[in-house]
Amino acid sequence: MAESNRQKKIAAVLQKDLASELQNEFRKSGQSGIIVSVSKVSVTVDLSLAKVYTSIFPADKADIIVKELNVIKPKIKHRIAQLTKNQLRRMPDLQFYNDDSLEYINRIEKAVKGTDDPIKDPNLLDKRKKK
């Protein structure tokens, strides 16, 4: 089912505010060398849940950071609700996910360039996991 215009507008507002809020949060916490960007936000039809897909660099810390974001999501939700109080009646619940599409693309590029040959070693390109 296609997203409605309202879902798209709410997702865009949340994506913009979440990106700035997460960058500020990591800057304040003193975790240097970690870049977090919000690659996509999708909102359910009833506007009660927002799935936030984050792209994290370096990729080896991505799972830890996503778990940490899911732990502090009430704090993040409260800050975003304060920012969007004039735009949204009700703040949707947040769920954070790791967007690993850039890593997957890099592995495919290596395979195409010839540095890693998935035909000789099919374990190089593992199957994508849907979460």
The three-state DSSP-derived secondary structure of the chain is CCCCHHHHHHHHHHHHHHHHHHHHHHHHHCCCCCEEEEEEEEECCCCCEEEEEEEEECHHHHHHHHHHHHHCHHHHHHHHHHHCCCCCCCCCEEEEEECCHHHHHHHHHHHHHCCCCCCCCHHHCCCCCCC
In this prediction, residue 123 carries a pLDDT of 72
Q: What is the pLDDT of residues 8-51, one digit of tens each?
A: 999 999 999 999 999 888 888 777 778 888 999 999 999 999 99
Topology (CATH) of 5-99: GMP Synthetase; Chain A, domain 3 (3.30.300)
- Locate the domains of the chain by residue range: 5-99, 101-131
In this prediction, residue 128 carries a pLDDT of 62
